[in-house]
């Protein structure tokens, strides 16, 4: 898809990958609807972006997501692209996964994007097509201790995305998944740790395997991959090639 003059909803647009994506899409001629909970951050971002719209949205609340889609459609008259980026990390071993925290992350990282998809489908179908991109994680392709809760929820998002891709093909609605690697944002700082799990001792122990990993990608690098998958309309986009092969 050529994104020039296209309307793109970007969730989690107030920081990190979402902010970088909003700037990049606007730079390339898209009209960006900036969705997040932080009014001040969104207003600051919107002040520097032409054809942008601030839409205060809580991606854990169904009514908020539905209102987001309605507001964007009423403002622009169409919705061409949905970038489901809003999300939060969740750490802890399977034995100590906090059910309350897990349900919150499921609402934010899985149910929220699903509702957004369901809400834009009728709009995109009526106008003859569109592109939906769900931001997953390379962790969804791995089995790393203490990451099961987060990785499994993102894995579920992968399955919904790629199944929807097949279901909506005749409507010319393209659904794709982007798999970021570690990214230099505040994501880790904002990660929820399951209650009754003390990660402090583990965090201070040397991890030779992690020390050998390449450095994190910038949010701008991930944003370029998101733009690339919108343009190419391919099913999956791996920010790091080795995430696709596991090697």
Domain boundaries, the chain: 7-238
Q: Are 194 and 101 in contact (CB under 8 A)?
A: yes
List the structure tokens of 14: 């107030």
pLDDT for residue 128 is more than 80: yes
Give residue 246's pLDDT: 54
Q: Are 246 and 22 in contact (CB under 8 A)?
A: no
Q: Are 179 and 238 in contact (CB under 8 A)?
A: yes
Percent with pLDDT over 90 in the chain: 80
Chain-centre distance of CA 116, in angstroms? Answer: 12
Give residue 202's pLDDT: 45
Strand partners, 134: 84, 177
From the candidates 104, 143, 150, 179, which is the catalytic residue? 150
pLDDT for residue 204 is more than 60: no
Q: Is 181 annotated in the active site?
A: no
The residue behind tokens 């931001």 is 135
| pLDDT band, residue 207 (cuts 50/70/90) | very low
Rounded Cα gap, residues 235 and 111, in angstroms: 21
Other Cβ atoms within 10 Å of 188 Cβ, number: 12
3-state helix vs strand vs coil in the chain, percent to 5: 50, 15, 35
Rounded Cα gap, residues 8 and 223, in angstroms: 13
Other Cβ atoms within 10 Å of 30 Cβ, number: 27
pLDDT for residue 18 is more than 50: yes
What's the rounded mean pLDDT across residues 108-137? 98
Rounded Cα gap, residues 130 and 9, in angstroms: 12
Torsion angle, CA of 18/62/238/23, rounded to 10 degrees? -20
The residue behind tokens 């596991």 is 246
Alpha carbon distance, N-terminus to C-terminus of the chain: 31
Give residue 136's pLDDT: 97
pLDDT for residue 245 is more than 50: yes
Picking from 120, 3, 19, the residue whose alpha carbon sits closest to that of residue 73 is 120
Rounded Cα gap, residues 137 and 22, in angstroms: 19
Q: Determine the topology of domain 7-238 in CATH.
A: Rossmann fold (3.40.50)
- At 178, which helix (H) or strand (E)? strand 173-179
What's the rounded mean pLDDT across residues 46-69? 97
Q: For the sheet with 81-84, list strands across it.
A: 53-56, 31-36, 7-11, 81-84, 130-135, 173-179, 236-238
Other Cβ atoms within 10 Å of 216 Cβ, number: 15
Least confident of 48-52, 88-92, 204-208, 209-213: 204-208
């Amino acid at each position: 898809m050529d994104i020039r003059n296209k309307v793109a909803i970007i969730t989690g647009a107030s920081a990190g990958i979402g902010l970088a994506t909003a700037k990049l899409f606007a730079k390339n001629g898209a009209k960006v609807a900036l969705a997040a909970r932080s009014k001040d951050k969104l207003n600051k971002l919107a002040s520097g972006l032409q054809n942008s719209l601030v839409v205060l949205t809580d991606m854990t609340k169904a009514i908020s997501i539905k209102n987001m889609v309605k507001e964007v459609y009423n403002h622009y008259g169409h919705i061409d692209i949905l970038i489901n980026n809003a999300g939060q990390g969740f750490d802890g071993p399977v034995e100590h996964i906090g059910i309350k925290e897990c349900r919150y992350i499921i609402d934010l990282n899985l149910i929220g994007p699903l509702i957004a998809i369901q809400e834009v489908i009728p709009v995109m179908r009526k106008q003859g097509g569109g592109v939906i991109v769900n931001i997953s994680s390379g962790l969804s392709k791995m089995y790393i201790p203490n990451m099961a809760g987060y990785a499994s929820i993102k894995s579920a998002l992968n399955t919904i995305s790629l199944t929807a891709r097949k279901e909506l093909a005749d409507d010319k609605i393209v659904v794709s998944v982007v798999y970021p690697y570690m990214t230099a944002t505040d994501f880790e700082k904002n990660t929820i740790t399951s209650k009754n799990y003390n990660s402090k001792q583990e965090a201070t122990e040397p991890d030779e395997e992690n020390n050998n990993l390449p450095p994190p990608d910038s949010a701008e690098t991930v944003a370029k991959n998101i733009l690339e998958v919108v343009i190419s309309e391919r099913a999956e986009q791996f920010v790091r090639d080795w995430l696709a092969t596991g090697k």
